Copies of this chain bind each other. A is one copy, B any other.
Amino acid sequence: NKKYTIAVLPGDGIGTEVTPVAVEALRLAGSLEGIDFEFKEMLVGGAAYEATGVPFPEETLKAFLESDAVYLGAVGITKKMPSSDHLPKHLRPEVGLMRIRRALGVYANLRPITVFPQLLEASSLKRSVTEEVDFMIIRELAGGLYYGKPRGFGINEKGEETGFCTEIYSSSEVDRVARIAFDMAMERRGKVCSVDKATVLESSRLWRKRVTIMSEEYPEVDLSHMLVDTSGMELIRYPKQFDVLLTTNVFGDILSDVAAMITGGIGMLPSACIGGPGPQLFEPVHGSAPDIEGEDVANPLAAVLTAVMLLRYGLKEEAVAKRIENAIFDTLNEGFRTRDIPTPGAKIVGCKKMGEEILKSL
């Protein structure tokens, strides 16, 4: 049997509820295709901070380097730690997540927005708007406003406190993520829409310039540019227009949550963080969701769809990926839903039960 080692970081809040579902789906689907997984469970985020005093322990990093892919549940505040505001920056759970992304060298975050026909009624948007939507958001993940320096706190000439960050992109940072977008478009419908705010931001002007230069290597791909404010509107007005939507770190953070609403919500969105030299990182788009933590009502589909991405983009095990995808499809066809994606006549179940149904379908 082929064998893969997966570093598993359940993380915080509902991360610990949805991750076991994804792990069991991987294990079962793998065994059906003659593949063994070894799962190494590690700490990260608030959970790691509580156990070890830091949100991203050395041990966890070591486990990464010995694994074929990294699976992360969710990182953030929890019922027990309802705010991280009191912690110095380097100890906050979210900063643990940013460190992981950095440590793995991943720079492109793929967030597919695909509407399941069974869930058309679960969206706030009209069926006519969401039907057949299928696009990929590619969010730059290693640069921009999230990491740029200088950043910190200061005192200005009037003696007032200030807080500041730097939005900066270099040519190679744009080029490498643009390449992923163009390559992806070649395998899809051949369209890239690059989103920036080039009318106002110098960082966006460089972004637009480099994306345009990169597009010359891809004459088959149709490149367009859209301002970020317009794109926020267009995602809701007419999402079918998008094939690959390429954008910066901070814009991608916002736009992918907006786009989540097309699919019935953030409980449906998986993501893959790729581009690094070693193992790649896979995480649902949702956070730790302290409001529903511990109640067994979280939607595990984002987590399971993330396992699909791990198989597809991380391990290139398409057959196993397809098996899990089909099992999700069957489970939805049987009418099972978590409460965040209600549809008329559905059977509303909890996180665990939804997981069991997926395993049954497998």
Contacts and interface: CB of A to CB of B under 8 A. Distances in A.
Nearest to A203: B163
A296 interface: no
A98 B200 CA distance: 9
Contacts of A163: 168-169, 201-207
Interface string A177-218: 000000000000000000001111111111110000000000
A93 to B, nearest CB: 8
Given A92-B199, A236-B258, A251-B254, A206 B162 contact: yes
Interface string A206-245: 1110000000000000000000111011011110000000
A299 to B, nearest CB: 14
A158 B230 CA distance: 34
Contacts of A129: 124
A343 to B, nearest CB: 13
Interface residues of A, number: 66
Interface string A261-286: 10001100000000000000000000
Contacts of A172: 158, 160
Contacts of A116: none
A199 B229 contact: no
Interface in A150-180: 151-153, 156, 158, 160-172
A145 B201 contact: yes
The residue in A76, A168, A238, A256 that gathers the most chain B C-beta atoms within 10 A of its C-beta is A168
Interface of A: 76, 84-85, 92, 94-95, 98, 124-126, 129, 145-146, 148, 151-153, 156, 158, 160-172, 197-208, 228-230, 232-233, 235-238, 250-251, 253-258, 260-261, 265-266, 287
19 contacts: A124-B129, A124-B238, A125-B125, A126-B126, A151-B202, A162-B169, A162-B171, A163-B206, A164-B202, A165-B202, A197-B250, A229-B253, A229-B256, A232-B232, A232-B258, A233-B257, A233-B260, A233-B266, A251-B254
Given A124-B238, A232-B255, A233-B257, 12 more contacts: A126-B126, A145-B145, A145-B167, A145-B201, A151-B202, A156-B170, A161-B170, A162-B171, A165-B166, A228-B254, A230-B257, A237-B265
